[in-house]
Chain A
Amino acid sequence: MARSTSKDAQALFQSLRSAYVATPSSLKIIDLYVCFAVFTAIIQVVYMAVVGSFPFNSFLSGVLSCVGTAVLAVCLRIQVNKENKEFKDLPPERAFADFVLCNLVLHLVIMNFLG
């Protein structure tokens, strides 16, 4: 039973990987970027768990900066994805411009909040 489970899982991962290879490289870059942001946020949370939340606004701005960027990147991915029929008419350049603008606004707030 257990054997079959691990095999199933292996098969599942195999199919996932093969499907992901087919993803366009631009989306892969975005995925990588999202992972980078999320891991940075996780490290900050761990740091806070270890030493306490004293400069709480700094912690919040750090984490929110990462999470915010990640969310924006995900949004970008949704809009850039060609499979996504909903945004078919939206050129990826326009989506990238939105991404840049949103990031700049987000980071203005973050910097203001950083203290």
Chain B
Amino acid sequence: MARSLAGFLVLILAISICDAASIFQPISDSHRSAALDLFKPVDGSFASLEETYEALRTFEILGINKKPDVSTATCGTVSKALSSSSSTPKDLFDALRVNSILKCKINAEVFEGIISKLQAAVSGASSLHDFYYSIGSLGLIKDQTSKADLHLSDAEGIFRSIKALSQSDGRWRYSSNNPESSTIAAGVALETLAGVVSLASSEVDQSMIGIVQNDIMKLFDSIEKYDDGAFYFDEKVVNVHEHSGPLSTSSSVVRGLTAFTTVATGSLNLPGDKILGLAKFFLGIGIPGDSKDFFNQIDSLAFLESNRVSIPLILSLPSTVVSLTKKENLMVKVNTVLGSKAPPLTVKLVRAYSTSSKDTSIIENKELSFDPERVVYFLDALPDSVDVGSYIFVFKVVLHDSERKDVYVTGTLTHVQIFLTGHVKIGNAEIAVLDNDLGTIETQRKLDLAGENAVSLSANHLQKLHLSFQLTTPRGSAFKPHQAFLKLRHETKVEHVFLVGNSGKKFEITLDFLGLVEKLFYLSGKYDIQLTVGDAVMENSLLSEIGYVELDLPEAPEKAPRPPPQAVDPYSRYGPKAEISHIFRAPEKRPPKELSFTFLGLILLPFIGFLIGLLRLGVNLKNFPTSSVPATFAILFHVGIAAVLLLYVLFWLKLDLFTTLKTLSFLGVFLMFVGHRILSHLASASSKLKSG
């Protein structure tokens, strides 16, 4: 029980930390193992070249050495795609991207053929994707073949025709006949323009680059923000056909931005907090479960880490729970987004304040010491005035090298919620039974709440139960926990919870049984006493069985309330229900078959006797009408009766009452008609006979 409570407190602690602190952890080993799980080749290769590139690129960025070997199978696919005449620019682009990592052996002639094909594709391109794939492919070939003379013939013209697709708000269109503008397209266009600039034979006009940089600034005006400081791009028009969440949109923009700033000469004055916010957005996702999302996250972070504008530095804490009793140090790490080492810097604790009182700082302007071995910054010792509780620490990162301030962005201030925990001393714990009128102590027991207790007390309804204890923090001041409950549990599992109040330093509760008899439902007998003291910052939160008190309460009067039925165990509510066993009526004993068949035969005997009797009486059918019309009616009459009887048999066997009655009404009318005709004929015949 005590263990489960401790677990519960840890859970609460964890939830409250997650809730309060907007700390972003850089990429760590958990990402590496997740990458190996997500990108799993089937039969030595991935499903497509695009997927292969995503996998290989992710492994490369994360520095995974134990990656699956796909080079043999993939290189075959790559050379096949490159030498095939039916390959589209996208196929070539994917193949070349894979080749840039795998470095397969490709003939120089193959490249020559592709170059002319791609050059033609560039000049004939009309949509953004045509430009993107063909120019991207040309750029990749230039990198892979060290062909210094690979140039675009009309770089400025191509630059202009791509720029013509841009919109006034910094976003781009996919093609000139598609009026919808898109943020992803903006990223794609920036990447393409970067490719054009790098492939240009001569310097591209600076004014045009300036215009594009202006576009980037406008694009950043449309950036969106989360409350925790993360910035992201999102598509304004949701396209149903394409998967374009904030992650793929943001990563497209980051790719385009970093590619463009790498080739563009002019400096781009992007706000550092937005770059940092983008990094926070990618880190805040955690570990995506989808391989595409995973690649987008890692790839974007890699671009952010190596970009020329500003490299974000992430401040993170290995633990936001610091134990005062164990004299733990508060540790802070500063890394790049991919978890590599930051340049020399100082972490300053600007101020720290309790979450309950924001105005009074407990620490101000303290510099954290650096531990070069573990690469952490730590706070030497907390001042003695700092007690257990939850605090907000405000950190600031200051770079040593002032020149690098332009390269790295650290954000202004980082607010982190820290829990300072400690071992709370419990003293003067005692439980006593008092006489009601005088308050004299009848029995008193000292309690050791940290250890085991087995108090046995007895009291009647004229007495009182008194419990008191004191809580002191490691710094010696009074401690007020979140929870302090006393629970009485009767043998019949009826429970009563009482809140333990505090007066200054002392926690105490007095249970006057005279006033409580009704609440206790007049149930005499053994009550187990349980004390709960718990708090998020209290390391020794406890749930202690103190013992029991034998209560002697008066008999319940007639109108006394009954104890409520016991609440259903919440775990059993969702568990399997008790199996329902169906009780069927036992089948009646049936007689043996032979006997039944014998009686069936016996039933026929009177019928046979009836027939024999008829024969002996000399019955005949001489009265049966001879002329054709009455004979027909006579036959129909008998057929009608037979039909009704047959209907009854069918009713017995399968028909329901309604069908039977419906059919019977028709048959009945028919039978009435023919019956009336034949019988009146017979009657007239016999009366004729009489009169004649």
Q: CB within 8 Å of B: which residues of A?
A: 25, 28-29, 32-33, 35-37, 39-40, 43-44, 46-47, 50-52, 54, 91-94, 96-97, 100, 104, 107-108, 111-112, 114
Kindly state the separation between the CA atoms of A44 and B680 in the bound complex, as whole angstroms: 38
Contact with A along B590-625 (1 / 0, CB 8 A): 110001100100110111011001100111000000
User: Shortest Cβ distance from A72 into chain B, in angstroms?
Assistant: 14
| B610 adjacent to A36 (CB under 8 Å) | yes
- B618 cross-chain contacts in A, Cβ below 8 A: 25
| A39 adjacent to B617 (CB under 8 Å) | no
Residue of chain B at shortest CB distance from A61: B652
| B599 adjacent to A39 (CB under 8 Å) | no
Kindly state the separation between the CA atoms of A92 and B591 in the bound complex, as whole angstroms: 45
A-B CB proximity, top 10 nearest: A51-B591, A36-B610, A39-B606, A93-B679, A32-B613, A54-B588, A93-B683, A47-B599, A111-B648, A36-B606
User: Shortest Cβ distance from A3 into chain B, in angstroms?
Assistant: 32
Q: CB within 8 Å of A: which residues of B?
A: 588-591, 595-596, 599, 602-603, 605-607, 609-610, 613-614, 617-619, 641, 644-645, 648-649, 651-652, 657, 660, 664, 668, 675-676, 679-680, 682-683, 686-687
| B617 adjacent to A52 (CB under 8 Å) | no
Kindly state the separation between the CA atoms of A48 and B589 in the bound complex, as whole angstroms: 13
| A32 adjacent to B617 (CB under 8 Å) | yes
From the candidates A50, A94, A100, name the one contacting B591 in the complex (CB within 8 A): A50
- 5 additional contacts (CB under 8 A) given A36-B610, A91-B683, A93-B683: A29-B617, A36-B607, A43-B603, A54-B590, A92-B686
- B603 cross-chain contacts in A, Cβ below 8 A: 40, 43-44
- B686 cross-chain contacts in A, Cβ below 8 A: 91-93
| B619 adjacent to A52 (CB under 8 Å) | no
| A112 adjacent to B657 (CB under 8 Å) | yes
| A108 adjacent to B591 (CB under 8 Å) | no
- B682 cross-chain contacts in A, Cβ below 8 A: 93
- A54 cross-chain contacts in B, Cβ below 8 A: 588-590
Kindly state the separation between the CA atoms of A52 and B590 in the bound complex, as whole angstroms: 9
From the candidates B675, B680, B687, name the one contacting A100 in the complex (CB within 8 A): B675
| A32 adjacent to B614 (CB under 8 Å) | yes
Residue of chain B at shortest CB distance from A39: B606
User: Shortest Cβ distance from A98 into chain B, in angstroms?
Assistant: 11
User: Shortest Cβ distance from B236 into chain A, in angstroms?
Assistant: 74
Mind listing 24 A-B residue pairs with CB under 8 Å? Answer: A25-B617, A29-B617, A33-B610, A36-B606, A39-B609, A40-B606, A47-B599, A47-B602, A51-B591, A54-B588, A54-B590, A91-B683, A93-B680, A93-B683, A93-B686, A97-B675, A97-B676, A100-B641, A104-B641, A104-B668, A107-B645, A108-B651, A111-B649, A114-B652
| B645 adjacent to A108 (CB under 8 Å) | no
Residue of chain B at shortest CB distance from A25: B617
| A25 adjacent to B619 (CB under 8 Å) | yes
- A112 cross-chain contacts in B, Cβ below 8 A: 651, 657
User: Shortest Cβ distance from A6 into chain B, in angstroms?
Assistant: 27
User: Shortest Cβ distance from B589 into chain A, in angstroms?
Assistant: 7
| B648 adjacent to A43 (CB under 8 Å) | no
| A29 adjacent to B679 (CB under 8 Å) | no
| A108 adjacent to B609 (CB under 8 Å) | no
- A50 cross-chain contacts in B, Cβ below 8 A: 591, 595
| A28 adjacent to B648 (CB under 8 Å) | no
- A107 cross-chain contacts in B, Cβ below 8 A: 645, 648
Kindly state the separation between the CA atoms of A31 and B364 in the bound complex, as whole angstroms: 125
| B648 adjacent to A108 (CB under 8 Å) | yes
Kindly state the separation between the CA atoms of A63 and B483 in the bound complex, as whole angstroms: 81
Kindly state the separation between the CA atoms of A107 and B668 in the bound complex, as whole angstroms: 14
User: Shortest Cβ distance from A80 into chain B, in angstroms?
Assistant: 12
Residue of chain A at shortest CB distance from B620: A25
User: Shortest Cβ distance from B213 into chain A, in angstroms?
Assistant: 95
- A114 cross-chain contacts in B, Cβ below 8 A: 652
- B675 cross-chain contacts in A, Cβ below 8 A: 97, 100
Listed residue (B649, B657, B683, B687) with the most chain A CB atoms within 10 angstroms of its CB = B683
| B607 adjacent to A40 (CB under 8 Å) | yes
Kindly state the separation between the CA atoms of A104 and B661 in the bound complex, as whole angstroms: 12
Kindly state the separation between the CA atoms of A111 and B654 in the bound complex, as whole angstroms: 12
With A50-B595, A100-B675 known to touch, is A29 a contact of B614 (CB < 8 Å)?
A: yes
- A43 cross-chain contacts in B, Cβ below 8 A: 599, 602-603, 605-606
User: Shortest Cβ distance from A71 into chain B, in angstroms?
Assistant: 17
- B679 cross-chain contacts in A, Cβ below 8 A: 93-94, 96-97
Residue of chain B at shortest CB distance from A38: B606
User: Shortest Cβ distance from A109 into chain B, in angstroms?
Assistant: 10
- B614 cross-chain contacts in A, Cβ below 8 A: 29, 32
